[in-house]
Amino acid sequence: MSKSGFYAWRNREESEHRRHDRRLTDAIVELHQGFRKAYGARRVHQQLKRSGLSCSVRRVSRLMKSAGIKASSRGLYMWNPGKHEFYSSTGNQLGELAPAD
């Protein structure tokens, strides 16, 4: 590569594609935070389409990977140890109050 070509490339303004990628990445980060970090590329893509931003699932997947964003199911569900024992020990109190036919 020539020196003049390198400096021309370095001083060139950002392309429209790169600007659109930056806008999409900002929207993806915002959506991902808003849905408790549980949305993957397909669901994020659906939400982006609903909000009027055009892109493909592959592009969303690439941008999520480059931004280090992953879908996570960890922390979405609470594990309550002993819950089953509590409910089984109380019995059916409503059934005892109902009149027998």
Q: What is the pTM of this model?
A: 0.64
Type and span of the H or E element at 72? none
Q: CB of 48 within 8 A of CB of 31?
A: yes
Please give the Cα distance from 3 to 101 (Å, whole number): 96
Please write the tens of the pLDDT for every residue from 54-87: 899 999 999 999 999 988 776 666 777 777 776 6
Please write the tens of the pLDDT for every residue from 18-31: 999 999 999 999 88
